[in-house]
Amino acid sequence: MSIEPGAKLGRYEIRAQIGEGGMGEVYRARDEKLNREVAIKILPVAFSQDPERLLRFEQEAQAAGALNHPNILSVYDVNTHGGTAYVVSELLAGESLRDRIGGAALSQRKAIEFAVQITHGLAAAHEKGIVHRDLKPDNLFITSDDRVKILDFGLASWSNRLMRTKPRPTCRRARSILIPAINMQ
């Protein structure tokens, strides 16, 4: 499903398609109420009819929306318009880690810098009981000022603290292993 520039989704005016993936298409849009550029991820209509895919889409939005950290993509809104489900997030300038690597290794200093940022973002998610479960170079975005942003929480799991379900292991142990390693100079 391709949306033409100028089309409206609620208060958002579509400007251009900027990407696509397994869970939908991503567009640059204008939030007319707040007068800012945003990214909108749209779930294809066929997927909106699939309860499992719709649940995964909503889970991604809820997981990312529950987090407020400089290394995690900020989600501003989740809504539907004419049967089309969409998530509105901050618009990032830069490239995926996969594109940044481009088949070549990062310098040791840059790899450590990125690893520390990724660990901080994951630790913030784990503090909220959210486990990403799909961390890969395509889901790590490097902004134009070299800030790492963790994207795509579509496969995330939530601990019993948030979901109030049967207890299962959380990431506290992993966090206690990772954080001391960061502080070592």
The yes-or-no answer on residue 77 being catalytic is no
From 77, 134, 146, 152, active-site residue: 134
Amino acid identity, position 57: F
Amino acid identity, position 51: P
Strands (E), the chain: 8-9, 12-21, 24-31, 36-42, 75-81, 84-90, 94-96, 130-131, 140-143, 148-150, 157-158
The helix/strand/coil state of 90 is: strand
- Give which of 36, 62, 58, 38 is closest to 47, Cα–Cα: 58
* Active site members: 134
